[in-house]
Amino acid sequence: METVRARIEGKVQGVWFRKYVKQEANKLGLSGWVTNKDDGSVYIESCGTKFELDSFLKYINIGSPLSKVDKVTVEWGVAVESTESFVVKY
């Protein structure tokens, strides 16, 4: 298992971005979480296989129908801690 930490910048708050991210993560069987940050970005931590996470990152770069993704910063790592599901943190 691997972990991806991603910071997404652009028009990603107030456009259902987190909801779509959660749906895609659940579809792929990933665990982790997504949250809005005070600077207007969205932060994601997710655990899964390299293949699942690569698919997830492709989706994140597109975003939800109302979003506009300008930049995605990704950091890969080895999964240290994993949750059983993918959640939205408020």
User: What string of pLDDT tens digits covers the 90 residues of the chain?
Assistant: 899 999 999 999 999 999 999 999 999 999 999 999 999 999 999 999 999 999 999 999 999 999 999 999 999 998 766 667 999 999
pTM passes above 0.85: yes
Task: Compute CA 26 distance to the chain's CA centroid, rounded to the nearest angstrom.
Answer: 11
Does 5 qualify as catalytic in the annotation? no
CATH number of 2-89: 3.30.70.100
Per the annotation, the verdict on 18 as an active-site residue is yes
User: What's the first-to-final CA gap in the chain, in angstroms?
Assistant: 26
State the catalytic residue, choosing from 5, 7, 18, 61. 18
Options 5, 26, 36, 61, the catalytic residue: 36
Q: Where are the domains of the chain?
A: 2-89
